[in-house]
Amino acid sequence: MKQSLALIFWLISFPLFSQEIESLKLADFQKILQTPNEKVLVVNFWATWCAPCIKELPLLEKLHQQNAGVQVLLVSMDYDLDPDIEKVVRFQNRKKLQAKILFLTENDPNAWIDKIDKHWSGALPATLVINTKTKKRELVQGELAEGQLEELIKKVNN
């Protein structure tokens, strides 16, 4: 409970510097996706080993820096192959990532992929754009195109 309150707290704050990576379980992650938030959530599923994910990170960083109405969450899926969070921390420092990074620590992806989005195959990268108040959501499977996130944000806000 305390952990989820802390998570909700940073969701409403506007951070300027690299933030501590939050290690969390599925239940707490689901809470973030379901808790009504003033900001549109842009949730990107990525991993340090995923080349197309790394290629599209600048689009998400730009969105994080330029659109105060959006909360960008970079959800690392590294745990499935390597449970050591340090690899993600090093990557964050090297790339000077400022958007919030979450590190999901769950085994057996078949048990939870559908709970995040039943349309998601589990392939990386994937991005969810969610208006938590209206529950409108859009899922992008594969690499994002320039301008695509802005369009989807408009779509879930309509």
Q: Judged by CB under 8 A, does residue 110 bind another protein?
A: yes
Torsion from C-alpha of 155, 114, 123, 129, nearest 10 degrees:
20
Could you tell me the sign of the dihedral formed by the alpha carbons of 12, 127, 80, 20, in that order? negative
* Cα dihedral across residues 74, 80, 85, 91: positive or negative: negative
Using the contact rule CB under 8 A, the part of the chain among 3-11, 18-26, 89-97, 104-112 near another protein is 104-112
Binding mask 41-60 for another protein (x = CB under 8 A): ------x-xxxx--------
Question: Do the bridges between strand 126-131 and strand 136-141 make them parallel or antiparallel, or are there none, so unpaired?
Answer: antiparallel
By the rule CB under 8 A, 85 interacts with another protein? no
* From 13-21, 22-30, 79-87, 150-158, span contacting another protein (CB under 8 A): 79-87
Rounded (5°) CA angle 107-75-117? 70
d(Cα 26, Cα 32) in Å, to the nearest integer? 10
Measured from the CB atom, the residue of 86 and 108 that comes closer to another protein is 108
Burial of 22 (0-12, 13-18, 19+ CB in 10 A): buried
Q: Which of 59, 63, 75, 77 binds another protein (CB under 8 A)?
A: 77
Task: Tell me if 93 contacts another protein by CB under 8 A.
Answer: no
Using the rule CB under 8 A, which residue among 19, 26, 61, 122 binds another protein? 122
Q: Which residues bind another protein (CB under 8 A)?
A: 47, 49-52, 77, 80-83, 107-110, 113-114, 120-126, 141-142
